[in-house]
Amino acid sequence: MNRSFLGVQWLPSQVACVNPLLILLLVPAFNGFVLPQGGRRVPGLYDLAGSVVRVTPLRKISAGLFLLAASFLLPLHAPSIGLQLLAYLVLTSAEVLVSVTGLEFAYTQAPTKMKSAVMALFLASTALGNLFTALVNLLITNADGSTATSDVAYFCFFVALMFVVAVAFVPFAYTFREQTFVQGGEDDPRPHEVETAAAVGQPQQQWRAGGAPCSRGVKHVDSVSS
């Protein structure tokens, strides 16, 4: 591969640094950000997409899964390292949609007393994915260290696997009923529970302990203490 791009001979370590740099750039690009002067909020890609379709955490993850599968389809043996940087852009966009959204979703959907346990299980899923990849690599490695399959077959296997997972996830994303638990403060130890409608766009209702102010666009109902 030709590692010369933009007049720079890129080192492998420099290419590896592109992923965390893109994460720092794409997270505010997707979510929007507030300007330090004036406090004006700049809308992100989620805001633009929200004018066309209803954007929910599970729909973000669904889009990210399909985008992740597509990132493996970019051609191998590209003549320029610039095409690999393009692959990093697609892959990191999928990572923002899946990983960052998944962290938030796992935390907010867990009951107050189970947030640590649910987050641990979410992070354990990453470890299980790494173990699965290691097992696949072990099974296709010959005794002399060579691989029993070609690179094309190797990546096509993961493309097919990701596509199957993405398709199977879509019905779950459209039928799952969200119930968000917000951590209470010291003066209000009771958990704030927010129940939203299903991801198909039904009217939303929200219950907050003590009738605290809620975000705009959500019907407010004071909770009743037992």
Domain range for 151 = 4-109+140-175
* Residue at 123 is within a domain: no
Please report, as a single letter, which amino acid is at residue 36. P
- Separation CA 145–CA 168 (nearest Å): 35
Q: Which residue has the tokens 């641990």?
A: 120
**Count of structural domains within the chain:** 2
Please, what is the end-to-end C-alpha distance for the chain in angstroms?
67
* Of 142-151, 162-171, 196-205, the least confident: 196-205
168 with 191, same domain: the answer is no
More confident residue, 146 or 126: 126
Pairing of strands 33-34, 192-198: unpaired
pLDDT over 70 percentage in the chain? 73
DSSP 8-state assignment for residue 218: S
16 with 32, same domain: the answer is yes
The structure's pTM equals 0.60
Q: Which helix (H) or strand (E) holds 81?
A: helix 81-95
pLDDT in tens, 35-44: 666 667 777 7
64 with 165, same domain: the answer is yes
* Residue at 196 is within a domain: yes
189 with 104, same domain: the answer is no
Q: Which residue has the tokens 């060579």?
A: 146
Q: Stretch 192-200: mean pLDDT, rounded?
A: 40
* Residue at 171 is within a domain: yes
95 with 186, same domain: the answer is no
pLDDT in tens, 56-108: 778 888 888 888 777 776 655 556 677 777 778 888 888 888 888 888 888 88
Token pair, residue 92, equals 């990191």
CB contact set of 117 (below 8 Å; sequence gap of 6+) = 110
14 with 98, same domain: the answer is yes
Q: What are phi and psi of 218, to 5 degrees?
A: -120, 135
- Separation CA 31–CA 68 (nearest Å): 19
Token pair, residue 71, equals 């990132």
SS3 201: coil
* Residue at 127 is within a domain: no
pLDDT in tens, 1-21: 666 777 777 777 777 788 888
15 with 58, same domain: the answer is yes
Query: Is pLDDT at 223 greater than 70 in this prediction?
Result: no
- Separation CA 12–CA 38 (nearest Å): 41
200 pLDDT band, cuts 50/70/90, is very low
40 with 72, same domain: the answer is yes
More confident residue, 203 or 122: 122
Q: Which helix (H) or strand (E) holds 98?
A: none
8 with 72, same domain: the answer is yes
38 with 146, same domain: the answer is yes
